[in-house]
Amino acid sequence: MSAIAQRLASPAYRKGWCPGALRPMETGDGLLARVRAPRGRFLLDQADALADAAIACGNGAIGLSSRANLHLRGLRESTLPDLHARLEDAGLIDADPEIERLRNIVASPLDDVDPEAFDLGPSVAALEARLRDDEDLRRLPAKFSFVLDAQGRLPLGDVDADVRFEAAPGGMFAVTLAGNDGLAAQCAPGETGDVATRLGLAFLALAGAGEAAPRRMRALVARDGAEAIFAKAALRAKPCKRSQRRTLLRNVIGAHAYGADFVVGAAAAFGEMEAARFKALIERARALYAHSLRLTPWRAFLIAGLDGRGVEALVDSMADLGFVIDAADPRLRIAACPGGPACMHGHRRVRDDATRWAAMLPEGDGVILHVSGCAKGCARPAATAATFTATATGYDLIPGGRAGDPPARRGLSSAEVAHLLAGDDASPFAGAGLT
């Protein structure tokens, strides 16, 4: 019996938690497993193996998450041993579920390609090593997360995290905490693991225990202040406004040159793709001598390592296989979960409605509409210009908020939502300056 099998002899599945590959989550269409590739990067052979695993062990659906991970759906308890063996052979699984759940790291996808970006390799490796080796950090909440932003052409200013490391002048990182963007400590690249550990332990010491204890850094900052947390971590913080630069999808989707290197980006409608199509794309990318696939926190991926001759052919292949290669595609303006029955909490098949509503949205870049199958809002935790949350009686409208926030209107039918989206003065976007 492998080390992984020994640790999972009696796996416990829970509904509605943050899943991993070792501890999947129960959903309406089976078990869902999250695969956390180091730095969100796959060699093409690894991506091919993952597509095979999705077909052999699940229902063939692969989801692109907003944390630069992949979700495999429709797994069964009987297929988990095969899944774990396949992921272990591909080097895509941790030996310990406690380590796996802590590797919530989002890093810039092209820091090694973009000449304008900071090289994150040693820093990410140092952080992952501390999360693996320091057992005191295993008391951190499962969703406690880190962002390492290399800046450059694909900045991560719109990606939330409990602790953020952002490239700053002089080859240093500015370290900020969720809930306070105006106070930062400085950190050298070689100190990333140590600083992250000190902040994680400071969070645990100050948050305390009990049901009322803060579970995320933002809540602790609101209660105690960022300065107290930095002080507990023995870090000196100064006023320093972090960058708000965010990546536009037009800089991700399609073909892009980085000096002599080329990358091609694509998305999948509502962040979900068929494993067979994904596998076919990997095979075509390999034939064009690409070397890797990079996940992004924008529910899109990049194929890297191409030369100029292979770019056009790969873009054509992506289009033929049904991937989104146009940043103006209106479906990219919507975040939508699968809804019911794929999710046991979902009240309806929300993606059917989202597909119809996409054509009614104003042009632009970025998500402005969130369609959620329930009040949990898994597809988009962030506030959105307009959110429609499915209920037993229809859709609730939440302008400028999250799926579980108090609604402005309740029990709307699909036709009534379409009428609102097609309107002018009554549009849910009228107050957001988007119409």
Which tens digit of pLDDT belongs to each residue from 292-329?
999 999 999 999 999 888 999 999 999 999 999 999 99
How far is the C-alpha of 132 from the C-alpha of 138, rounded, in Å?
9
pLDDT on residue 3: 45
CB atoms inside a 10 Å sphere around CB 433: 7
Residues 302 and 353 in one domain: no
Burial 241-250 (b: 16+ CB within 10 A, else e): ebbeeebebe
| Secondary structure letter of residue 363 according to DSSP | P
Residues 127 and 228 in one domain: yes
How far is the C-alpha of 181 from the C-alpha of 245, rounded, in Å?
13
pLDDT on residue 423: 80
Residues 370 and 401 in one domain: yes
Q: Hey, is 328 helix, strand or coil?
A: coil
Q: What is the DSSP string of 275-289?
A: HHHHHHHHHHHHHTT
CATH for 300: 3.90.480.10
| Secondary structure letter of residue 111 according to DSSP | T
Residues 68 and 18 in one domain: yes
- The answer to whether residue 110 sits within a structural domain is no
How far is the C-alpha of 378 from the C-alpha of 403, rounded, in Å?
9
- The answer to whether residue 111 sits within a structural domain is no
* Beta bridge mates, 238: 184
226: tokens are 């960022």
- The answer to whether residue 106 sits within a structural domain is no
Helix, strand, coil share of the chain (percent; to 5): 35, 25, 40
Residues 381 and 416 in one domain: yes
The DSSP H or E segment spanning 303 is strand 300-306
Residues 19 and 77 in one domain: yes
- The answer to whether residue 101 sits within a structural domain is no
- The answer to whether residue 222 sits within a structural domain is yes
Q: Hey, is 317 helix, strand or coil?
A: helix
CATH for 63: 3.30.70
Residues 235 and 122 in one domain: yes
Q: What is the DSSP string of 32-75?
A: EEEE--GGGEEEHHHHHHHHHHHHHHS-SEEEE-TTS-EEEEEE
How far is the C-alpha of 21 from the C-alpha of 186, rounded, in Å?
34
pLDDT on residue 308: 86
- How many domains are there within the chain? 4
Specify the pTM: 0.91
Residues 34 and 88 in one domain: yes
How far is the C-alpha of 140 from the C-alpha of 124, rounded, in Å?
18
CB atoms inside a 10 Å sphere around CB 190: 10
The residue among 305, 325, 345 that closes a domain is 325
* Beta bridge mates, 206: none
Residues of the domain holding 9: 3-95
Residues 349 and 306 in one domain: no
Residues 385 and 351 in one domain: yes
The residue count of the chain comes to 435
- The answer to whether residue 54 sits within a structural domain is yes
Residues 234 and 130 in one domain: yes
* Beta bridge mates, 257: 262
CATH for 380: 3.30.413.10
Residues of the chain with pLDDT under 50: 1-16, 426, 432-435
The residue among 295, 325, 355 that closes a domain is 325
- The answer to whether residue 112 sits within a structural domain is no
pLDDT in tens, 184-193: 999 999 999 9
- The answer to whether residue 103 sits within a structural domain is no
Q: Identity (one letter) of the amino acid at 57?
A: C
Q: Let me know: does 25 contact 16? Beta carbons within 8 Å.
A: yes
pLDDT on residue 317: 97
Residues 125 and 37 in one domain: no
CB atoms inside a 10 Å sphere around CB 188: 13
Q: What is the DSSP string of 122-185?
A: HHHHHHHHHHHH-GGGGGS-TT--EEEE--TTS-BTT---SEEEEEETTTEEEEEETTEEEEEE
pLDDT on residue 218: 97
The residue among 239, 265, 285 that closes a domain is 239
